[in-house]
Every structure is written in C-alpha cells, then in structure tokens.
Amino acid sequence: PNIVPDVTCTACGCLCDDIELTIEGQRITAAKQACALGKSRFLSFRNEPRPTCFLQGQPATLAAGIERAAQLLTAAKYPLVFGLTETTIAAQRAAVAIADWLGAVVDATAGDYHGASGLAFPKVGESTCSLGEVKNRGDLILFWGTDPAESHPRHFERYSLQPAGLFVPRGRADRTCVVIDVRQNKTAEQADQLIAVKPGSDFEAIWTLRALLAGIEVDPEQVATTTGQSLDVWKQLLAQLKRAKYGVIFFGAGITQTRGQHANGDALRALTRDLNRHTRFVCRLNRAECNSSGADNVAAWQTGYALGVNLAQGYPRFSPGEYTAAAVLTRQEADAALIVSGNPLAQLPSPAKAHLATIPLIALHSQFNSTTPAADVVFNVATSGIEIPGTMYRFDDVPVPLHSVFTATQPSDHEVLLAIEQRVKELKKSK
C-alpha cells in the first residue's frame, strides 16, 4: 500500500489537514486521524472512470454538455448561479465570472443562513480571530446555537476545547465551556454549563446581556418570561464572560435561522464588541460546508459583496433576503440555474425547490444526489482534494491547500466552468 501523509479532508468546514491515507489500487483503505464523517468520505471513494456528462439523463460528450449549458444560460432572462460552497476557489472564481457575463444572481448554498453574517459585518463590524488564536489563547469558549460535536467532529480536539495552547497549556483544564441552546445537544455534554433558552428568544437573551453590561436596569420578571432563564443566570454568565482573558463565541444556524435571523447576528457581534471594553472577546460563525468561507471571499473579490449579489444591471447589487437563491426561486423569478456543487433540491425551502424543479438546470458535482435527476445537463466532475488539488478556505477564512492522491479520471469543475464561460462569452458577443 501507498501511504500519503498530510491530506486535507473536505467533509466539513474544519478542513483537517493532518489525515494520513493508505491507498491500495484505486481505493483508499484507511484514513488515520479522520473522524467518522471524514472516514466515510475517503473510504467510499473509487478512482474509476465514469461518464462525464449527461443530457436529459443520457450520457453525452463533454463538448455537447458545454454547448447546451451555455445555450440554456444565455437564453435565460434571470439566470441564477448557485451552490459554490463545496468546491475550490478556482472553480468559484470561474462560476462568479460566468454570473458576471450573464448578468445573473450569484449566491452560495447557505446564502440565507450566512446572510446574518453578511449584513451584520458592515453594520456592527467584527471582532474576530483565526482558529490558531482560539487554540493558543481561548480560555472561555461559548457555543451559542451551534452543535460542533455533530457538525464539526474534530472542532474540540483541534481548535477549541482540548488542544494545549501557549496561554492555555493544560488544554481543556484551562478552559471554561458554556453552551447556550434551546436543548441539551451533543456539544452540551462536553460543556461546563448549559443555559437552555426559550426557542426564538436569542435576541432578547443577547440584549439582556448587553443591557447588563451597559449598567441598564432590566425587569427580572420580563427577562425570565422572555428568555426562560432568570436574571441571576444572565448576571452570573456576564461575570464569567468578563473574567475571561480571551473569550470566544462560536455561533451557528440556531441563531441565524431562527426568529430574529440577521438581527441575532447583529446583536451577537454588538455584544462581542461591548465585551471588548472589559476583556478580549471574539466571535465566529461555525460554517459546516468545506468552502463556505471561500465562496464569500471569492464573491467579495469579484463583486464587492459576499453573497446574494444581483449583476443584472451590469453592476453588483447586494441584498441578502432579496437576491439570495431561496428568495429568487420562491418568487419564481429565476428562469435557469447553474448549480456548482451541493444539493439544492435537498437544502432549499419547499417553494424554492418546487420552482427550481421547473426551470432549466445545469449541475456540476462529483457525486450524484437528489438534484441530479432534475438537471437538464449534469457534469460528473473530479473530486476536489482526492483527485484534484486546489485551495479551500477553512471556516475561519484561513486558506488550506488540497492535494490529489489519484490521477483524475474526470475533468475538474474548474475546467468545465472555464469552458462554459468561454462559450457564454462567445454567445453574448454574437448577440
């Protein structure tokens, strides 16, 4: 067997780059260091030739697929370029360039979810850090509306709870961990304290902490009724937060996809900013997809905005909630879609899914999923990080290189997208 060290796993946003693979023939037979999620990604992979392109479910040549995709996209009045979170930055860059030529709406899979982040950033600013700083400095870790024990299985081991760091040499023993959630989740089992809040009351809870921090009197009865926890619990938590030398708040869909949505993101960032008057505090969104951060960064380089961007007027307009994919599809405005990685038919809300199933669809992915049968053109592309190298952004915006451990049997999505872009350009110029 061939042993390949330091391979990057792309099964979640942690992008662990310490995986040791054992290769036997065309298969991976062991993935040391990987968690169960990572192992299943590596061990299920087969480096075998497979049809590259399908038109209406029938195998076709790559050239025919590229021509059909370019024709469908240029014929559309309101095209949507969507997905992007599970591919390399090179492919993301090519996809945004296609959107630019088409005057399309471009959005990432988790656009609505991350919209909270996108809106809060210009309004409130951001006190943030890399996961390296969390590892070396973080002595109070607060998980709010996120369950990394499920979504990022090695989060604790590599970054947040267990590793010994420069200022936390005893690892877990030097850290306090608090979970705020509506229920006892898997992360709470590893925490020192769980504060269970009433569903949909995160904004009120955050605002209570901000008020206490600012020395504003609050009504104990109202706090208990709205948040489900007594004022004393919030006072004790605040004292604990202020005692930290380096506090870190990780948040997730439990905040950004519940009542309040982007207002919750604004509030949490504002609380982090306020806490910096007392001690050092940072906050980070726990992103599950392997390259959500890359999608934001690439879209921001090329359009000025991270997601939910409409390029129809020849200049970018940014409006999460209006130009995010779910909204554009629910309003039945998009009339063709280019899906780059991911499985939107499994992820979007029902009305958006229903419309997506009625419009011309071009899908690029390395594994068939429930979106595949609905697509007019399917490109079965090489697997990033196993068959092709590249770069992805970890969820703390740190770029991580991917290596290839096999020779690809398929073209990469980057190559297919460049070819579509070239043909779209020609068709646009000839009109």
> Which residues of this chain interact with ligand SF4, rule CB under 6 A?
9, 11-12, 14-16, 34-35, 37-38, 152-154
| Closer to ligand SF4 by Cβ: residue 32 or 331 | 32
| Closer to ligand SF4 by Cβ: residue 131 or 197 | 131
| Closer to ligand SF4 by Cβ: residue 239 or 398 | 398
Is the Cβ–Cβ distance between 389 and 403 less than 8 Å? yes
CA dist., res. 116 & res. 114, Å (int): 5
Shortest distance, CB of residue 17 to ligand SF4, whole angstroms?
9
Shortest distance, CB of residue 302 to ligand SF4, whole angstroms?
27
CA dist., res. 81 & res. 71, Å (int): 15
Q: CA–CA distance from 216 to each of 210, 211, 267, 270 (Å)?
A: 9, 5, 16, 16
Shortest distance, CB of residue 8 to ligand SF4, whole angstroms?
8
| Closer to ligand SF4 by Cβ: residue 38 or 360 | 38
Is the Cβ–Cβ distance between 412 and 388 less than 8 Å? yes
Q: CA–CA distance from 140 to each of 161, 165, 242 (Å)?
A: 9, 13, 10
Written as six digits, the tokens of 346 are 């499994």
| Closer to ligand SF4 by Cβ: residue 150 or 192 | 150
* Residue 366, C-beta contacts closer than 8 angstroms, at least 6 positions apart: 380, 381, 382, 383, 384, 410, 413
| Closer to ligand SF4 by Cβ: residue 14 or 361 | 14
| Closer to ligand SF4 by Cβ: residue 47 or 160 | 160
Is the Cβ–Cβ distance between 171 and 162 less than 8 Å? yes
Shortest distance, CB of residue 265 to ligand SF4, whole angstroms?
24
| Closer to ligand SF4 by Cβ: residue 152 or 365 | 152
* Residue 412, C-beta contacts closer than 8 angstroms, at least 6 positions apart: 88, 91, 381, 382, 384, 387, 388, 390
Shortest distance, CB of residue 325 to ligand SF4, whole angstroms?
25
Shortest distance, CB of residue 412 to ligand SF4, whole angstroms?
20
Q: Cα-Cα-Cα-Cα dihedral of 341, 342, 344, 348, to 10°?
A: -130
The string over 300-339, giving b where at least 16 C-beta atoms fall within 10 Å of a residue's C-beta and e elsewhere, is bebbebbbbbbbeeeebebebeebbbbbbbbeeebbbbbb
Is the Cβ–Cβ distance between 380 and 52 less than 8 Å? yes
